[in-house]
Structures are given as structure tokens and as C-alpha cells.
Chains A and B, each alone.
Chain A
Amino acid sequence: MRVTVRYHALLREKTGRDRDTFEIPLSSAKVSHVISAFVKTHPAFERLAAALNVAVNEEITIREASINDGDTIDLMPPFGGG
């Protein structure tokens, strides 16, 4: 399946991109597979990966959530509002 991954704040800055498209070679995949694909492409994020926040189709979710072909996934650093 193919998903679009959008980068925010620190991620956009450090990758120098606002999005990537990842091909996940599985028929049934989870958010954690997308994070692994992201870290493989951007290894500088290996240490921060566990602290990233994730949304699938604009709903914040967990690593175990299922993803589908065509989904849009937002990868976000720790929050800092207020």
C-alpha cells in the first residue's frame, strides 16, 4: 500500500521536506510500519521516533492503529502549546 506522510515543525525543518510518499509492502499495516519506513529514509530521527505524535487522516492515533492504502499520515514532534 502507498501512504502520504506529512511532516510538521521540527520534522519539516530537519528533513527539508513537507511530505514523502511511502510504499509499505504489506497488505495489512499499522502506523508503526510507517514510522519504521520514515526512520529508514531519515535515520537522524531514530532516537526521537518513540516520542513522535501521529495522526491518520487528521485523527491523532496510536502506533498499533491500522492504516489503509491512500491514507494521509501526519508525523509531529512533541507538542509545545501554551
Chain B
Amino acid sequence: MSFFTRQTIDAASLEREVASDSAGAIVTFIGTTRNTHAGKGVEHLEYEAHEIIANKMLSGMCDDAIRKYGLIKVALKHRLGRVDIGESSIVIAVSSAHRGAAFDGCRWLIDTLKTTIPIFKKEYYSDASEPVWVGPDGKPVVL
């Protein structure tokens, strides 16, 4: 199973995946493509990943979140390729018995993904200036 897709992500299907009779909460994080960054108009994003390493690490990360926060289930999908403004680049859905663990676990998952998983983002601007690769802090990665 891959955590990556080049198609639109259906958040509702991830929520169905994590649904459970023992769950009292489902929390879903949807990362969407914003039309500005650092004062510049963004036209679209492009994502690539080292898929072999990333899939292995994401699987471990989801297991860690389940153990660390006592979650019931986790579902995660990340886009690759072109992502237009307003589209989802990532969806993370988690279920737990109570809402606190679901909020905390979901937050930990997106924060951990941003800094540890080999996924790379390139921003394309509406003024047609040179596209820029962006790091986990949102700052341009430059030579």
C-alpha cells in the first residue's frame, strides 16, 4: 500500500477507513494549497518524494502515533505531482476513544511528517518568476 497518490484525495474515504465503533472522535487534517506565500502569488505546487523510503517511514510514523497517543486507526494520503490552488496536498484522519488524543495525535503526525519524511515541494509563482523548492520551515532552499 502506498501513502502517495497523483489523484485528488477524498478526505471522506479516509474518515471511513478510520471509523470504529470504539471511537468517540475522528480528527482530520487537510493541508490545502494556498494562493500566496511570503507575499508572492502562488500558481501551483509540485511534490515529489523518495517513495520507497517515505512509504517505509510513514508506516512506522503511523504505528508510532497509534502507540504514543493511544489512537485506534490512522489513515494518511499525500499528493505527488502538480497540486493546484485550493486542492488538498495531504489528508490525515485519526480516530480515538476521546477527542484529546485524536487532536494531539493528528497534530504530531503532520508536524513529524514535515521534518522527517523525504517529500519535496516546489512552488510555481503567478508572476512566472523562477519556481523555488521550499523546506520544512517554508523558506526557499537555495544554493
Contact = CB atoms under 8 A, between A and B. Distances in A.
Given A48-B143, A81-B78, A82-B110, A76 B90 contact: no
Main secondary structure on B side of the interface with A = mixed
Given A10-B133, A58-B53, A60-B53, A79 B120 contact: yes
Contact of B121 (A8, A59, A80): A80
A10 B142 CA distance: 9
Contacts of B141: 10, 48, 51, 77-78, 80
A71 B53 CA distance: 15
Contacts of A77: 120, 133, 135, 141
B52 interface: yes
Contacts of A80: 47, 114, 119-121, 133-136, 141
A82 B89 contact: yes
Given A58-B52, A81-B49, A82-B119, 20 more contacts: A9-B133, A10-B120, A10-B141, A55-B50, A58-B56, A59-B53, A77-B120, A78-B135, A78-B136, A79-B114, A79-B136, A80-B47, A80-B133, A80-B134, A80-B135, A80-B136, A81-B78, A81-B117, A82-B78, A82-B113
Interface of B: 31, 47-50, 52-54, 56-57, 78, 89-90, 110, 113-122, 133-136, 141-143
